[in-house]
Amino acid sequence: MKKILFLMLALTAVAFANDGDVANQTLKAYSMIAAGLGLGLAALGGAIGMGHTAAATIAGTARNPGLGAKLMTTMFIALAMIEAQVIYALVIALIALYANPYLG
């Protein structure tokens, strides 16, 4: 982690260079890295949440089969909420890539 932080701080000198083109290219590169990491982490968190939701629904249905339909409906609502968070991260990543407000 320290190496990554050191590398990011070392590359900030390029971002503050006098040439605007170099700064824009560096900012675009950082935007691509941030979008990729952010979307990857959001997808990972969403996948873990969906796995836990499905496991809890299966366990609940196994304990009380009469509530299977109600648990399934609740599970689908929860999965939609989890997926919405990943879609929000995708929108933010696309904004960072294509409509970046920091690029002049």
Q: Give dist(CA 53, CA 33) in Å, integer.
A: 30
End-to-end CA distance of the chain: 31
Put simply, whether the predicted model's pTM sits higher than 0.85 gets the answer no
Instruction: Delineate the domains of the chain, giving CATH numbers in brackets.
Output: 2-98 (1.20.20.10)
Q: How far is CA 65 from CA 50, 61, 72, 87, in A?
A: 21, 5, 11, 33
What value does the mean pLDDT take over residues 37-61? 95
Reply yes or no on whether the pLDDT at 29 is more than 80: yes
Tokens of 7: 């590398």
Per residue in 1-28, pLDDT tens? 777 777 777 766 666 655 567 667 778 8
